[in-house]
Amino acid sequence: MRIIDSMVRGLASAGVHPNILTAVGVCINVGCCVLFGSGEFFWAGIVLIVANLFDMLDGNVARLTGNVTKFGGFLDSTLDRLSDMVAFFGIMIFYAGNSPQHSLLNVILAGVGMIGSVMVSYTTARSEGLGVKANVGFLQRPERIVLLIIGSLSTWNWNSDFFLFNRMPQVLWVLAIGSIWTLIHRMYFIWKEFRRLEGVAVDK
Going from the C-alpha of 148 to that of each of 135, 166, 176, the distances in angstroms are 21, 12, 12
End-to-end distance of the chain based on CA atoms, in angstroms? 40
Confidence of residue 182 (pLDDT cuts 50, 70, 90): very high
Confidence of residue 98 (pLDDT cuts 50, 70, 90): confident
Amino acid at 19: N
Q: How many CB atoms sit inside 10 A of residue 196's CB? A: 12
Q: What is the pLDDT of residues 1-42, one digit of tens each?
A: 777 778 888 888 888 888 888 888 889 999 999 999 999 999
| Proportion of the chain in helix, strand, coil states, percent, rounded to 5 | 75, 0, 25
Q: How many CB atoms sit inside 10 A of residue 189's CB? A: 18
Distance separating alpha carbons of residues 20 and 9, to the nearest angstrom: 16
Of the two residues 198 and 151, the one the predictor is more confident about is: 151
CATH classification code of 2-197: 1.20.120.1760
Amino acid at 156: W
Question: What sign for the dihedral angle of Cα 38, 43, 49, 55?
Answer: negative
Distance separating alpha carbons of residues 136 and 191, to the nearest angstrom: 13
Residue spans of the domains in the chain: they are: 2-197
Q: Is 76 a residue whose pLDDT tops 60?
A: yes
Q: What is the pTM of this model?
A: 0.85
